[in-house]
């Protein structure tokens, strides 16, 4: 596996969704990302109206930031990205998202397996039902159930996941609380990724302070692109 695809210091990732990416906005976001040394660009979304390959190619043609496929479903599989998050929805009990889809995807990804990163993906309730919660037909873990969250993250690490992604859901009312991040970080040794509902510099600061290795920004940057710049400044203050 390519280790450069796993955050080794505090990192910022920009999430771009093929269904939301119009050309002008994409250009602007990528310019801001490149100008501020965003660490990774994730490409993916919950549902698929547009195929993902053109988005990956457009990002790669305009910057050198590693692009990682963050597939919302099997229709978003691609071998064009620098890396692929092989997501196991370990907060849920849907077998298709724990092994079924992986069996279907594995032959397709066989020739790029060194770029495939096993990720333990955990939904934490962000104040409303998220698209991923609905589409996965699973239930997010309540944010005050620290024991369940910690046990799930630990199980993910023990199963060999290279990162644990705490997801409040795109556009969540409330991001993953700092105390949840802190608790998970104290208990596992693989990087902790935090995303969903992060819309302000203070939330970014709190997430990094609590121990997030990487934060993922989607909607917040689409609405206010300067958030990406702020996020990178905050990240730099930790180095
Ligand atoms: C969703 O964690 C990401 O998978 C980003 O969420 O769009 O709310 O930033 P937002």
Report domain extents, the chain.
3-237
Mean pLDDT of 102-126: 98
Of 103, 114, 196, residue with least CA distance to 162:
114
In the chain, what percentage of residues exceed pLDDT 70?
A: 100
How far, in Å, from the CA of 217 to the mean position of ligand 1? 6
Please state, in angstroms and rounded to a whole number, the distance separating the CA atoms of residues 48 and 111.
24
Question: 3-237: what CATH class?
Answer: alpha beta
Phi-psi region of 113 (alpha: psi -120 to 50; beta: other; left: phi over 0): alpha
Mean pLDDT of 37-51: 93
pLDDT of amino acid 194? 98
> Three-state secondary structure along 213-233?
CEEEECHHHHHCCHHHHHHHH
Please state, in angstroms and rounded to a whole number, the distance separating the CA atoms of residues 66 and 201.
24
Nearest protein CA to atom 9 of ligand 1, as residue: 218
How far, in Å, from the CA of 218 to the mean position of ligand 1? 5
Nearest protein CA to atom 4 of ligand 1, as residue: 170
144 φ/ψ angles, rounded to the nearest 5 degrees: -90, 0
Reported as a pLDDT band with limits 50, 70 and 90, residue 23 is confident
Taking 90 as the threshold, does the pLDDT of residue 22 lie above it?
Answer: no
Cα→Cα distances 177→50, 128, 224, Å: 33, 15, 22
pLDDT tens, position by position, 64-99: 999 999 999 999 999 999 999 999 999 999 999 999
Give the residue, out of 218, 221, 231, with the most ligand 1 atoms within 8 A of its beta carbon, to mutate for a pocket test: 218
Nearest protein CA to atom 2 of ligand 1, as residue: 195
Taking 90 as the threshold, does the pLDDT of residue 3 lie above it?
Answer: no
pTM, two decimals, is 0.97
**Sequence-ordered strand ranges (E) for the chain:** 11-16, 40-43, 67-69, 83-89, 116-123, 163-167, 192-195, 214-217
Cα→Cα distances 10→132, 208, 213, Å: 26, 7, 5
Q: Which residues pair with 164 in a beta bridge?
A: 120, 192
């Amino acid at each position: 596996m390519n280790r450069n695809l796993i955050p080794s210091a505090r990192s910022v990732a920009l999430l771009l969704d093929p269904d939301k990416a119009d050309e002008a906005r994409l250009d602007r976001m990528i310019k801001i990302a490149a100008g501020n040394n965003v660490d990774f660009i994730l490409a993916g979304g919950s549902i698929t109206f547009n195929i993902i390959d053109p988005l990956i190619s457009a990002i790669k043609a305009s910057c050198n930031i590693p692009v990682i496929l963050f597939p919302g479903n099997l229709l978003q599989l691609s071998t064009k990205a620098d890396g692929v998050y092989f997501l196991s929805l370990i907060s849920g009990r849907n077998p298709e998202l724990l092994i079924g889809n992986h069996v279907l995807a594995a032959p397709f990804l066989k020739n790029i397996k060194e770029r495939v990163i096993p990720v333990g993906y955990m939904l934490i309730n962000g104040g409303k039902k998220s698209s991923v919660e609905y589409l996965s037909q699973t239930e997010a873990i309540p944010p005050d159930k620290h024991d369940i969250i910690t046990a799930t993250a630990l199980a993910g690490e023990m199963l060999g996941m290279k990162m644990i992604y705490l997801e409040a859901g795109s556009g969540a009312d409330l991001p993953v609380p700092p105390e949840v991040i802190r608790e998970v970080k104290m208990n596992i040794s693989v990087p902790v990724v935090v995303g969903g509902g992060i819309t302000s510099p203070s939330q970014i600061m709190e997430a990094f302070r609590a121990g997030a290795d990487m934060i993922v920004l989607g909607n917040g940057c689409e609405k206010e692109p300067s958030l990406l710049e702020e996020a990178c400044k905050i990240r730099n203050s930790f180095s």
